Amino acid sequence: MSFKQELRRYKRVFVVCDRNVEGFAGQLAGGETPMFAITADETHKSMDTVLDICRWLLEQGADRDALLLAVGGGVTTDLAGFAACIYKRGIRYANIPTTLLSQVDAGIGGKTGANLDGYKNILGVIRQPEFTAIFPEVLQTLPEKEFRSGLAEMLKTFIISNLSHAYERTVKLVSSAGWPEVAKDANLQELSELVQLAAGIKQGIVEKDEFEKGPRRKLNLGHTWAHAIEWWQSVQKKPCSAPFSHGEAVAIGIVQAAKLSESLGIAEKGLADRLKSDIEACGLPTDLPCPVKDLLPAIQKDKKAEGGLVRFVLPVKVGRVVVRPIGPQLLLQP
């Protein structure tokens, strides 16, 4: 069944898209489908944007039988999905992820959300989309920073799975081909296979643990530091000239998690150095932009914090991680 045939199953379809992919969204949905373009960045990932989407749906006469189609990266699918979940107590939604990050992570699993006062994804619900459709060819149009941001999430997915060969394939492909050759026709087939593999891994984990009570927690590898870095960037009196993207912050967080894991005697010796070397070979950052103490306020408010402890995902080796509750103050120890 073609994508347009799939859409015909729904009586009324409404599209929310990132302004940067408005043309692609129009081609997918057809000229008659109502569309609402949003500015999809962390500054606009707020309840104000969610409410704007809901108002637009109301103005368009969207009923409970409507389908809201989100076309864009993770910010777009998070916001549109959240709006769909609360509009008229819930309508159906589907995702067309257009960034590497959203194809392997953010567009899969049913998490929706908005930021609150600079803190990541404090508001939101978990509700599965009708479907997620991946179009590998859109990766060829990504800016390099966006591609590498998604690459960090793909590496993370392979680190937490038992498919260490996929991690090694990814590092080899990206470090040897470089950007933009890695997404060109000669390499697109292999990249597409790795994307589908990563997406399948996440979907399999979500199906076992939709509400993050067990196995799904390991998907947060690197994210405690990443969210803290993003918060730190947003609250600085002097903003960063070139702030890290979410995926770049995750790359830093993965290395920090490996260092913590080694210090606790959990990880194989030398794992942190190996991950640091591989991640840097893929063109991603690995060093914290500030002292750990500057990140503690956000780490302590992390959505995974319970009873003063934060559940850190700690790698044992490539292909295996564990989840341990740790007091954030432990991070200050040399």
- Could you read off the pLDDT of 206-248 as tens digits, one per residue? 999 999 889 999 999 999 999 999 999 988 866 777 899 999 9
If asked whether residues 121 and 97 sit together in one domain, one would say yes
Q: Which residues form the catalytic set? A: 89, 111, 153, 202, 212, 216, 220, 223, 227, 246
If asked whether residues 129 and 182 sit together in one domain, one would say no
pLDDT < 50 stretches in the chain: none
Distance separating alpha carbons of residues 31 and 35, to the nearest angstrom:
9
If asked whether residues 81 and 102 sit together in one domain, one would say yes
Distance separating alpha carbons of residues 310 and 323, to the nearest angstrom:
10
If asked whether residues 167 and 107 sit together in one domain, one would say no
If asked whether residues 182 and 226 sit together in one domain, one would say yes
For the segment 265-293, what is each residue's pLDDT rounded down to a tens digit? 999 999 999 999 999 999 999 999 999 99
If asked whether residues 119 and 247 sit together in one domain, one would say no
Instruction: Count CA atoms closer than 13 A to 185's CA, side-chain side.
Output: 0
Q: What is the pLDDT of residue 1?
A: 54
Give me the helices (H) in 264-303, please: 271-281, 292-300
If asked whether residues 12 and 122 sit together in one domain, one would say yes
Tokens of 86: 């609360």
| Contact indicator for 299, 251 with CB cutoff of 8 Å | no
In a domain, residue 316? The reply is yes
Of the residues 86, 107, 134, the one at which a domain ends: 134
In a domain, residue 139? The reply is no
Q: What is the pLDDT of residue 12?
A: 95
How far apart, in Å, are the Cα atoms of 214 and each of 210, 264, 308? 9, 22, 19
Tokens of 104: 């392997």
Number of domains observed in the structure of the chain? 2
pTM above 0.85, yes or no: yes
If asked whether residues 156 and 69 sit together in one domain, one would say no
If asked whether residues 65 and 168 sit together in one domain, one would say no
Please identify which residue in the block is written with the tokens 């409410």.
Answer: 51
| Cα–Cα–Cα angle for 14, 19, 21, rounded to 5 degrees | 80
Distance separating alpha carbons of residues 153 and 167, to the nearest angstrom:
11
